[in-house]
Each structure stands twice: as C-alpha cells, then as structure tokens.
Amino acid sequence: MLLALIGVLAASQAVQPKDPCDSARTTLGARTCLGREVDVLERGLAVALDAARTRLGRAGPVDSAQRAWEAYRSAQCHASALEYAGGTEQSVAEIACWRTLTVQRVAEVRGMYRTGSR
C-alpha cells in the first residue's frame, strides 16, 4: 500500500512541470520572470476573448464578464499577497497569483465559449 502511494505521488509530481520562475535568485528576478509569463498569458487570453466575441456575435456580454473577472483577479491577488505585507515577497506573491488566475481564466474562456484548444 505504501509503495503504491509513493508511486502515485511520484507520478503526480512528474506530471507537473517545474516552475521556471523558481530558479530566480532575487525578488526582482522573480517579479520579472512572473511578469513575462503573465504578459504571455494575457496575450493568449486576448485571443481567446476575441474568439469568444466572434463565436457569440456580440462583444458586450464577453467584455462585461471580462471586466468583472479582472476586478476579481486584482482584489483576490492583492488580498492573498497581504500575508507578506511589508516584505519583499508581497509583490512576488501578487504576481504569482495573477499568473495562476490568468491560466485558469484562459482555460475557462476556451471551455465556456469553445474557442480552441484547452
């Protein structure tokens, strides 16, 4: 039983890719790396949103939902980073949260509007 559990844990860790920003040696390096990743994700999100607008034939509902989500992301990530308030990790935690939520949003938009690969 224990060996089976160890095998499952090892397999689950092998499936998850290593975070490229974990190797950053400084706060600035981590923020820069995470910021680049968020920029790439946001470009992908923009493509998914454009496809959703096209598929629906209307931009209004998609844009309204996106504005609400952006407000949520900003508030959620700010709140979650408060654990590190006053420290150098606060900004890193906030940007990492932006990355996580943006990855989820891209998948959500693609799935909801069936706009492309997941």
Out of 15-24, 59-68, 80-89, which region has the weakest mean confidence (pLDDT)?
15-24
What average pLDDT score do residues 82-109 get? 95
pLDDT given at position 113: 81
Q: How many CA atoms lie within 13 A of 27 on its CB side?
A: 9
CB atoms within 10 A of CB 85: 9
Domains present along the chain, CATH in parentheses: 25-113 (1.20.1270.180)
Per-residue b/e over 41-56, b at no fewer than 16 CB within 10 Å?
beebbeebbebbbeee
**Distance of alpha carbon 60 from alpha carbon 71, whole angstroms:** 17
Quote the Cα angle for 55-58-62, to 5°: 85
Q: What is the pTM of this model?
A: 0.78
